[in-house]
Structure 1
Amino acid sequence: MTPSGTDASSAPPSRFDVLVVGSANVSRSRAAERLMRARVGQDEGIEVSSAGTRAALGEPVVEPFDELLTAVGAYTDGRSARQLSTETVHSADLVLTATREERAAVVRLVPAAVGRTFTLREFARVAASLGPSSLPEGDLAARLSALVRAAPPLRGPTAPTVAADDDVLDPSGMGPAAFERSFVQVQAAVDSIVRTVRPTLADGDPPLPEPYAPPARRSRGLRNVALLALASLVGLVVVGTVGAFVAIGLLDDRVERFPDPFANLSSRPAPFVPTTPGGALPVTILVLGSTDDVRTDDPDAWATAAAQTDVVMLAHVSADRSHAHVIAMPPDLWVEVPGEVPGTLRAAFAEGGPPGAVQAVERLTNVRLDHVALADSETFARVTQSLGGVTLPLESNLVIGGRVVATAGERRLTGEQALVWVRGAVDDDLGRAQRSAVWLLAILDRMGDGDVRHNPLTWLRLLGVITASVAVDEGFDRSEMVGLLASVRTLGPGEVDVLPVPTVLAAGETGALLVPDAAPFSTLMDSLRTDTLGAHLDGG
């Protein structure tokens, strides 16, 4: 560690020690250590090491992070996890932690380290706010030393609206997409720090590793998806925390239920047959939403609800619980309406309520439905508020009541602000649909953040909102809800695919009709029916 009192501008330290602290020291902290080594090297007196507050002693870097590091040329060195100690903290000039929890653990261990201990993303944010020109001329060690001295007063002024944004996502127990998201957060933070202390490469320096780019996946854009039940559905189905699926039992009485829509349907698609007798089954839920709340005890209200329906969705959870898929269908998609001349999904809902919608969708897709859920369009806003806001890209200043409440750029918005932002495209159906899709994905990302995913109190509030916002068929009882939630508790928002039904315009007697695009629609529904949609998307 550099002796205290050194003036970095006149006598730069000959060595600067950076310590990165995680929990198990097999993923985030090791990735940050290796990336920082790859970017700064050790030729200028910079030593980078890592440790864990609860280290998995003897364990190497977990395989997903090992592969991600290899992909950017920051190879692991074969070292195993080591335990954080008083000595390692004392010897460090800068301590960077994965989350606020590890930062607190470091300071409890060595209180005097409080001024030089930051979360990785916190220090990156402060570094970016200062910029390269704020640091004195000198070698890399001198500039890092100066940055550490300048950083503490800027913690507060640069703090994010949501404190959890200072944490790196913990992907433990989650799918590959969560590891990628966590890795990207680590890499972005390291790059921000390096750009501040080392804005240019010296002659002979190796080039910086290329930023990691997750593999391109099928577009998640939605058509005709407006403000409604997707967030509720994800909350009910993709929870991923023990506290949440226990809480649903307590909140079950708040969920409104309507009569079984399947009871009087005589002709239905065949049930799914598992490859192993008695094996797990996929779950497919039809989700209908309207712009206003609907009284489910009033049959005459279905026509009003149908007129206001802004989305029809199939939410599918795979039998192995490794993926969830949300397929959006335009309400005005042309189908055969039970007992009537051919018409739209909206018309089927209006004429027959939930049973009519079920029969129309099953005839259209030949996919057997298990449940039906209804919600109103304010759900997105209420879920967003429960999550403490979400980050959305504003193309221009957001004005509410004649006052600018958020300037253009990536901004954390409240539920009310996000709703105004989406409805700002009220005269543009496509624009509104695109903004709604962006909002949904922002909600899914926020649900994957550690402070949400692992906080039972947050999920209790979230489930309170959801259970007050949705209605389900009476067959979707407490035991089935809890069983489904228990089976998907490790499924993260990164494993939720949102995709539209492929459609084309066709000539009709009274004008153009929106109909399924036959070949891709058939392929999509075959994959859904056989529970192979995940493999279909990965291979597509």
Structure 2
Amino acid sequence: MIVPRHANAPGPRASLTRAEEPPASPRHARALDRHRLLRRTGVGALAAVLFLGSGATFAYQEIQGNIGRHDIEDLLGDDRPSAVASPEPIDSKAGQPINLLVMGSDVREGASDVDGAGAAGEVKGMRSDTAMIAHVSADRSRVEVVSIPRDTLVDVPSCRLPDGTETPEQSDVMFNSAFQTGGETGDVGAAAACTIRTVEDLTGIYIDDFVVVDFAGFKNVVEALDGVPLYIPEPIDDPYAQVQVAAGCQVLDGTEALGVARARKTVGDGSDISRIGRQQELVAAIAREALSKNLLTDLPALYQFLDAATSTLTTGPYIGGLPTMAGLANSLRGLEPGAISFATMPFEWAGPRVVPSADAEQMWENIKADRPIDATLTGTGEAPAPEPTETTTDEPTTPPTETPSEDPTDDGVVTAAPEPTIPVCTK
């Protein structure tokens, strides 16, 4: 089905550890506290799934066990930007903005290398070809996602590894090499820590925590939603990404969605920049589909979605806790797709690579100040609505010139030409 639409502060750094939390209570008290926290969040169905019924305890432990959590505090060093101070929050960080670094882990199990480096098993080291800063505003009224191109030339600082060694500093290297550098010992947390240090040096933005999403988990999320509708402007036949999708409105299954997210060389201009645009459109479509479902009233569907969404997540200790996820989800419960916006770091070409442009600094400053950014896409699948312009009466306005028409139904009223439309797909 096709539906037409118009186109278009400094302060003490918050710890990632639990060192400042109250002393641990007995096991039964901790369980009771956790139950009360989830009930306070208002996510009643989530609480029901996790705590009620004969299999509830197992469900909670299974979903929490899906998430690999890494404490990377010691790997980040002391030379970091300052976090925004706030009173003790109700739901862990209420009243203050949150910056998460979301990375796609390029694990090619049984698939060809999307960039032509060879099949899975021939790819050496950890890779991350997708990195996004997800900014949640302090008032929880908006979420902004900024993609950093993997081909951005950056300086990668020295990164501390779990074995106690430190990597050498690197200058003018591709941004995604930071993940590979930190992951030299095979530790995903260290790979994320090195990427966080690189992002903080590049932007001056304090990153509160990280999420690494394995591509297999991405497939599972789409499958748990029974597919995601997306408009495909041109046919995709990419042997590297192992995907074939016809043009037009399609309901992508997990394998197809992953292929669309990974396809590059045979689509558009073949650049990573164009791939970022497709990835953002796909993430927006997933957000629309997830928000459109009444998961909180369908407990089996909620459990299936949570199990899929957490199946291959690797996070830091803050965002990886289910009570934290529930509290944040509750804070964002009124969020509409239009309040989710996407942008790509403003850049200039440097040969086949890119470097941040002057506009990138303004974007980083807006995020640090918790101001809206200039986005190019929203969760509705549309470009953001233009800001209303102020009009003055100092200068007389000239009415539009009427153009004669031979149309016998023309009443002489001049109207603006209709905006071009782009299909929005539904199931």
CA contact (8 A) 2:221 2:308 kept: yes
Matched, 1:373 2:211: yes
Counterpart in the other structure of 1:483: 327
C-alpha displacement at 1:363, in angstroms?
1.1
Please list the CA deviations of residues 94-117 of structure 1 after superposition, one character each: whole Å capped at 9, or x if unmatched: xxxxxxxxxxxxxxxxxxxxxxxx
Give yes or no for contact 2:147–2:345 (8 Å, CA) kept in 1. yes
Give the partner amino acid of 2:309: I
Q: Using the alignment, how far apart are the partners of 2:334 and 2:197 within structure 1?
A: 33
1:258 corresponds to: 70
Q: CA–CA distance in 2 between the matches of 1:456 and 1:400?
A: 38
- For residue 363 of structure 1, give the secondary structure of its aligned residue in structure 2: helix
Instruction: Report the counterpart of residue 270 of structure 1 in structure 2.
Output: 82
> How big is the shift at 1:486?
2.4
1:252 match: secondary structure: helix
1:496 aligns with 2:340: yes
Partner of residue 98, structure 1? none
Shift of 1:437: 2.8
Flag the 1:240–1:448 CA change in 2: closer, same or farther, 3 A: farther
- Aligned-partner Cα distance in 2 for 1:470–1:309: 14
Q: Post-superposition shift, 1:442?
A: 1.7
The match for 2:314 is 471
What is the CA deviation profile of residues 189-221 of structure 1, one whole-angstrom value per residue up to 9, with x for unaligned ones? Answer: xxxxxxxxxxxxxxxxxxxxxxx959x5xxxxx
2-side partners of 1:240 and 1:329: how far apart?
A: 34
Q: Classify 1:213/1:398 alpha carbon distance in 2 versus 1 (closer, same or farther; 3 Å).
A: closer
| Cα distance change, pair 431–344 in 1 and its aligned pair in 2 (3 A) | closer
* Contact kept in structure 2, 1:323 and 1:534, CA below 8 Å: no
Are 2:418 and 1:418 aligned?
no
Equivalent residue for 1:460, pick from 300, 303, 306? 303
d(CA) in 1 for partners of 2:238, 2:80: 49
The match for 2:355 is 515
User: 2:143 and 2:222 mapped to 1: Cα distance?
Assistant: 21
For structure 2, list consecutive stretches of 5 or more residues without a partner in the other structure: 9-40, 52-59, 110-120, 159-168, 183-190, 376-383, 388-427
Distance 1:502 1:384, change over 3 A: same
Offset, 1:247: 4.8
Structure richer in helix, relative to its length: 1
Query: Which residue of structure 1 lines up, in the alignment, with residue 195 of structure 2?
Result: 357
Shift of 1:461: 1.2
Q: Distance in 2 between matches of 1:248 and 1:312?
A: 31
CA shift, 1:409, in A, is: 2.7
CA drift at 1:445: 1.7
Cα distance between partner residues in 2 of 1:466 and 1:396: 29
The separation in 1 between residues aligned to 2:354 and 2:237, in whole angstroms, is: 35
Q: Does 1:341 align with 2:162?
A: no
Q: CA shift at 1:269, angstroms?
A: 0.6
Structure 2 CA distance, aligned partners of 1:361 and 1:337? Answer: 9
Distance change (3 Å), C-alpha of 1:240 and 1:441: farther
Alignment of 1:122-521 (within 5 A): 242-244=44-46, 247=49, 250=60, 251-261=63-73, 264-273=76-85, 280-292=95-107, 304=124, 306=126, 308-339=127-158, 340-342=169-171, 343-352=173-182, 353-395=191-233, 408-421=247-260, 425-427=264-266, 428-429=270-271, 430-452=273-295, 454-476=297-319, 477-506=321-350, 513-518=353-358, 520-521=359-360
Q: Deviations over 1:475-518 (max 9, x none)?
A: 43344333222222222333211111111123xxxx65421112
Conserved in 2, the CA contact under 8 Å of 1:304 and 1:350? no
CA distance in 2, matches of 1:388, 1:496: 22
**Structure whose alpha-carbon radius of gyration is higher:** 1
> Which amino acid in the other structure matches residue 417 of structure 1?
E
Higher relative contact order (CA 8 A, sep 6+): 2
Can you list the C-alpha shifts for 1:101-155, whole angstroms capped at 9, x where unaligned?
A: xxxxxxxxxxxxxxxxxxxxxxxxxxxxxxxxxxxxxxxxxxxxxxxxxxxxxxx
CA gap of 1:464–1:213, structure 2 versus 1, over 3 A, is same
One-letter code aligned to 1:354: A
Deviations 1:25-66 (A, max 9, x none): xxxxxxxxxxxxxxxxxxxxxxxxxxxxxxxxxxxxxxxxxx
The two structures have a TM-score, normalised by structure 1, of 0.47
CA distance in 1, matches of 2:282, 2:253: 12
Structure-2 residue corresponding to 1:525: 364
C-alpha offsets along residues 277-311 of structure 1, whole Å, 9 cap, x if unaligned? 977111111112222179xxxxxx9x9554x3111
CA distance in 1, matches of 2:217, 2:208: 22
State the Cα distance separating 1:454 from its structure 2 match.
4.9
Q: 8 Å contact 2:45–2:299 — kept in the other structure?
A: yes
Q: Distance in 2 between matches of 1:243 and 1:312?
A: 31
SS of structure 2 residue aligned to 1:468 = coil
1:13 corresponds to: none
**Structure 2 CA distance, aligned partners of 1:245 and 1:431?**
41
Provide structure 1 residue ranges, at least 5 long, that are not aligned to the other structure: 1-159, 166-184, 189-211, 217-238, 295-300
Alignment RMSD:
3.8
8 Å Cα contact 1:315/1:325 also seen in 2: yes
Distance 1:388 1:467, change over 3 A: same
- Matched AA of 1:269: P
Kindly provide the amino acid, as one letter, of the partner of residue 291 in structure 1.
Answer: D
CA distance, structure 1, for counterparts of residue 294 and residue 223 of structure 2? 15
